[in-house]
Amino acid sequence: MPNSTQEQTLRRNAIRRLLSRAPAATQKSLVRDLVARGLVATQSSVSRDLKDIGAIKTGRGYELPNANQSDSELTNVAEFIRSVTPAGHNLTVIKTAIGAAQRVALALDRSDWPEMIGNIGGDDTVFVASDSSSSQKVLIAKIERARA
């Protein structure tokens, strides 16, 4: 049986997949979709998850932040991204395939996302600085969307 951290990770990944396909009209509809997939979900857990993954409420419902034209370069290198992990409230660690971190860092630079102050790319790791935890969450959501 999965522990609560595993359940949370599974639920958040499922929410990202659902929102990448279409906006969710309500939190209740997300709860129904998640429960139908065998995940443990309540309105309060989904509300926290939406906030933590950086989802936004629009006229169409809950959505992941919009990808813009400059995101296409990140989409082109997304296959090299192995993991995206928050480290503290404003640092994100991106693990990549060996030798791919510079390409991913350059794509992030060219994205010109306001949530990112800057980044440093090594061989297989990129460190990305954000100005706040909320910016970090939006940034991670955008990166995950590019990977979807």
Say if residue 54 is in the same domain as residue 76. no
Query: What residues are paired with 50 via a beta bridge?
Result: none
Q: What digits encode the pLDDT tens for the residues 67-76?
A: 444 456 788 8
Residue 95 CB neighbour total at 10 angstroms: 16
Contact 98, 124 (CB under 8 A): yes
CATH number at residue 100: 3.30.1360.40
Say if residue 112 is in the same domain as residue 132. yes
Say if residue 83 is in the same domain as residue 139. yes
Nearest to 113 by CA among 91, 93, 143: 143
Q: Which residue has the tokens 């409420």?
A: 57
Q: What digits encode the pLDDT tens for the residues 77-96?
A: 889 999 999 998 899 999 99
**Which of 25, 42, 63 is the C-terminal boundary of a domain?**
63
Contact 78, 147 (CB under 8 A): yes
Instruction: Print the domain residue range for 110.
Output: 71-147
Q: How many domains does the chain have?
A: 2
What is the pTM for the complete model shown? 0.57
